[in-house]
């Protein structure tokens, strides 16, 4: 992975900021079958962070700290409870269609996933002794 090569050339990675995001998208799927909103807003952050986690942990061990900043939205508070269908592969049009409320719900779920992921990462770093 190119990102790991870049990190190794520059003595590690101390900060990762995940800020990609889209809003009010049609009920479409990526080529691998995930909701476009969920993939851009959350799954891409999850993948990049997972690929870089060893480098971040190494920085925390060597320099005493590493940070991951996951941008979310207040929209994570406004919407129905999260169900697995929103972060699973699915068919186009099966996550509420293209009405404004359905688009907002998909955004809400992606931002809720950001917050849950951030909480899990925080716990992981605390276990390693990083603030």
Active-site residues, by number, are 107
C-alpha 112/C-alpha 65 separation (Å) is: 26
Element (H, E) at 55: helix 44-63
Report how many helices (DSSP H) and strands (DSSP E) the chain contains, helices first: 4, 2
Helix (H, G, I), strand (E, B) or coil at 81: coil
Paired with 35 in beta bridges are 29
Three-class secondary structure of residue 68 per DSSP: strand
Distance linking the first and last C-alpha atoms of the chain:
28
């Amino acid at each position: 992975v190119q990102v790991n090569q870049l990190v190794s050339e520059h003595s590690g990675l101390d900060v990762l900021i995940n800020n990609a995001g889209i809003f009010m998208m049609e009920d479409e799927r990526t080529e691998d079958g995930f909701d476009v909103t969920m993939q851009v807003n959350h799954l891409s952050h999850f993948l990049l962070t997972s690929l870089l986690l060893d480098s971040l942990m190494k920085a925390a061990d060597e320099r005493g700290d590493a940070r991951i900043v996951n941008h979310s939205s207040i929209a994570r508070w406004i919407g129905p409870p999260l169900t697995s269908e929103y972060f699973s592969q699915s068919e186009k049009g099966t996550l509420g269609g293209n009405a404004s409320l359905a688009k907002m719900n998909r955004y809400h779920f992606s931002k809720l996933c950001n917050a849950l992921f951030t909480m899990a990462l925080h716990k992981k770093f605390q276990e390693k002794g990083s603030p």
